[in-house]
């Protein structure tokens, strides 16, 4: 039976540092997938996910259990992803073009046989980072708007607005696709 996260954290803070691996194993896939959905790059996602666990380990003493550990971990991971995206957009335009070309040919695109799915995936990539983050946390992690606000350090109203705009953007993309058919 899986030990509750708080108990594992207490063990780690009491000196049983090897117990942290239980948390890594529990959340590694989720955090990796979250990072992948934000970056669409497997290598970046792996680096960011690993960094998230290391950052969580460093800050473990500050986790007070007032939210779920997963929410706290998502916050760390999402901050890393958003910073990564921010630094990527500051790159030289020619490098950005290269990155965009990679996205079009990336492993996700190769999996999508339906043109509408490809169109949607591109539309998600074009979303502002905060909207993409909100969409990812809501749709894939199943977080409430309140939890999303906690993760992204914004108001609940802002979280809802970002989600609304993200969904509407995808809806318009689908509509345009249908009209073009």
Under the binding rule (CB under 8 A), the answer on residue 69 touching another protein is no
Under the binding rule (CB under 8 A), the answer on residue 50 touching another protein is yes
Under the binding rule (CB under 8 A), the answer on residue 104 touching another protein is no
The helix or strand, by DSSP H or E, that contains position 67, with its residue range, turns out to be none
What crossing angle do the helices spanning 20-39 and 42-58 adopt, rounded to 10°?
A: 140
Q: From the list 3, 7, 54, 83, which residue makes contact with another protein (rule: CB under 8 A)?
A: 54
Of residues 141 through 160, those in contact with another protein by CB under 8 A are 145, 153, 156-157, 160
What 8-state DSSP symbol labels residue 68? -
Task: Tell the residue number behind the tokens 């953007």, with chain if given.
Answer: 169
Q: What is the smallest separation between the CB atom of 92 and another protein, expressed in angstroms?
A: 27
Q: What is the smallest separation between the CB atom of 128 and another protein, expressed in angstroms?
A: 11
Considering only CA atoms, which of 174, 7, 152, 2 is closest in space to residue 80? 152
Give the total of residues touching another protein (CB under 8 A): 64
Residue 112 CA to residue 121 CA, distance in Å, equals: 9
Residue 15 CA to residue 105 CA, distance in Å, equals: 46
Under the binding rule (CB under 8 A), the answer on residue 64 touching another protein is yes
Residue 18 CA to residue 40 CA, distance in Å, equals: 31
Considering only CA atoms, which of 152, 163, 6 is closest in space to residue 75? 152
Sites of contact with another protein (CB under 8 A): 12-13, 15, 17, 20-21, 24-25, 28-29, 32-33, 36-37, 42, 46, 49-50, 53-64, 66, 72, 75-76, 79, 107-108, 110-112, 116-117, 120-121, 124, 135, 139-140, 145, 153, 156-157, 160-161, 163-165, 167-168, 170-171, 173-175
């Amino acid at each position: 039976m899986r030990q509750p996260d708080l108990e594992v954290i207490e063990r780690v803070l009491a000196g049983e540092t090897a117990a942290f691996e239980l948390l890594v194993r529990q959340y590694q896939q989720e955090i990796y997938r979250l990072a992948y959905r934000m970056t669409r790059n497997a290598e970046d996602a792996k680096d960011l996910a690993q960094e998230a666990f290391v950052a969580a380990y460093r800050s473990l003493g500050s986790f007070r259990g007032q939210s779920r550990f997963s929410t706290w971990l998502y916050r760390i991971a999402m901050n890393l992803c958003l910073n990564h995206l921010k630094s990527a957009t500051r790159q030289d335009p020619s490098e950005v073009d290269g990155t965009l070309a990679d996205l079009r040919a990336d492993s996700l695109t190769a999996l999508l046989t339906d043109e509408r799915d490809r169109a949607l995936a591109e539309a998600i990539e074009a979303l502002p980072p905060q909207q993409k983050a909100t969409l990812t946390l809501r749709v894939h992690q199943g977080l409430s708007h309140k939890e999303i606000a906690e993760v992204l350090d914004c108001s609940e109203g802002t979280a809802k607005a970002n989600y609304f705009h993200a969904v509407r953007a995808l809806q318009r993309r689908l509509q345009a696709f249908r009209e073009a058919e």
